[in-house]
């Protein structure tokens, strides 16, 4: 039996940035909370779309041909294979929805790659 | 290219209750906004889990052995095959995440069954 989950209460449980924490699974998809600040790496996810939902704060996503801004209550679908680079001037709290097993840095790797399946 | 979507702006575009509106697709999953008030019908989704996220207001979900309450910023995963009945005393604005093709009344049908794939 699954119980209700409060996003802000879950955000209170960690302070790391760029390190997604799993809060729920639906079929083979995961819902992950992330705190972000600064610039992430350019990357893409070759096999899947990815959803960003801003819970608190503001962020941007740079694409190769444009840049978008997102604030609390906004979402965007980043398409499969679409190169993107998330960034935030101040810490921003976001919810990601994507299939289990997706790495945060996609095909790029590197030191910002976070361990998967860390539940809170 | 997919653009940012603001939940509250999308909710301003319709007034019907219990009639999910698709705002985005990620792979073969849909993100749907729904306004609910009153009691829905008991039903289950035999083939899939279903996610409820409350955007504004409060609602409840009755299960066969318990009942849960959800407010803005809460989510819950209703398990595949789990009988449930959503309800709300006052109008509540929610986001559903589930595979494309899932009917709102699941296996129950009846007059509260909404047409699928209505985009706003």
Residue B24 counted as domain residue: no
Closest in A6, A26, A98 to B49, CB measured: A26
Name the token pair of A89: 């001037």
Domain boundaries, position B77: 52-94
Whether A4 contacts B70, CB under 8 Å: yes
How far is CA A117 from its chain centroid?
Answer: 13
Continuous segment of H or E residues that includes residue B51: strand B50-56
> Residue A79 carries which DSSP code?
P
Assign residue A12 the CATH number of its domain. 2.60.120.10
Residue B112 counted as domain residue: no
Residue B70 counted as domain residue: yes
Residues written for chain A: 120
Residue B4 counted as domain residue: no
CB contact under 8 A, A49 and B27: yes
Residue B1: pLDDT over 70: no
Rounded CA gap, B6 and A59, in Å? 14
Closest in B8, B31, B97 to A26, CB measured: B97
CA-based nearest residue to B86, from B11, B31, B18: B18
What's the half-sphere exposure (Cβ side, CA atoms, 13 Å) at A46? Answer: 3
Number of structural domains chain B divides into: 1
> What residues contact A111, with CB distance under 8 A and at least 6 apart?
none
Backbone angles phi, psi at B10, to 5 degrees: -65, -40
Q: What is the pLDDT of residues B38-92, one digit of tens each?
A: 999 999 999 999 999 999 999 999 999 999 999 999 999 999 999 999 999 999 9
Residue B3: pLDDT over 80: yes
Q: Which residues of A touch B2 (CB under 8 A)?
A: 76-79
Please tell me whether residue A7 adopts helix, strand or coil conformation: helix
Q: Which residues of A touch B76 (CB under 8 A)?
A: 2-5
Residue in B1, B3, B4, B7 to test binding to A, most A beta-carbons within 10 Å: B4
The confidence score (pLDDT) of residue B7 equals: 98
Bridge partner residues of A76 (DSSP) = A52
Whether B88 contacts B71, CB under 8 Å: no
Residue B32 counted as domain residue: no
The confidence score (pLDDT) of residue A2 equals: 81
Q: Which residues of B touch A31 (CB under 8 A)?
A: 51, 75
Q: What is the mean pLDDT of each run of 10 residues along chain A (120 residues)?
A: 92 98 98 98 96 98 97 98 98 98 93 95
Closest in A4, A7, A73 to B6, CB measured: A73
Entry pTM:
0.97
Q: Which residues of A touch B8 (CB under 8 A)?
A: 73
CB contact under 8 A, A76 and B6: no
Rounded CA gap, A73 and B84, in Å? 27
Least CA distance to A70: which residue of chain B? Answer: B4
Residue in A77, A83, A84, A97 to test binding to B, most B beta-carbons within 10 Å: A77
- B69 to chain A, minimum CA–CA distance in Å? 8
The percent of residues above 90 in pLDDT, for chain B, comes to 98
Residue B27 counted as domain residue: no
What is the ipTM, given to two decimal places? 0.96
Residue A106 counted as domain residue: no
Residues written for chain B: 120
Please tell me whether residue B9 adopts helix, strand or coil conformation: helix
Residue A59 counted as domain residue: yes
Rounded CA gap, A28 and A120, in Å? 18
């Amino acid at each position: 039996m699954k119980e209700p989950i409060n996003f802000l209460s879950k955000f209170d449980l960690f302070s790391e940035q760029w390190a997604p924490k799993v809060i729920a699974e639906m079929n083979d998809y995961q819902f992950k909370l992330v705190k972000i600040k600064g610039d992430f790496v350019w990357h893409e996810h070759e096999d899947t779309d990815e959803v960003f939902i801003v819970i608190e704060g503001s962020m941007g996503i740079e694409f190769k041909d444009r840049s978008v801004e997102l604030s609390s209550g906004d979402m965007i679908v980043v398409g499969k294979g679409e190169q993107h680079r998330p960034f935030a001037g101040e810490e921003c709290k976001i919810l990601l929805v994507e299939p289990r097993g997706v790495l945060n840095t996609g095909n790029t790797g590197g030191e910002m790659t976070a361990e998967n399946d860390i539940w809170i």
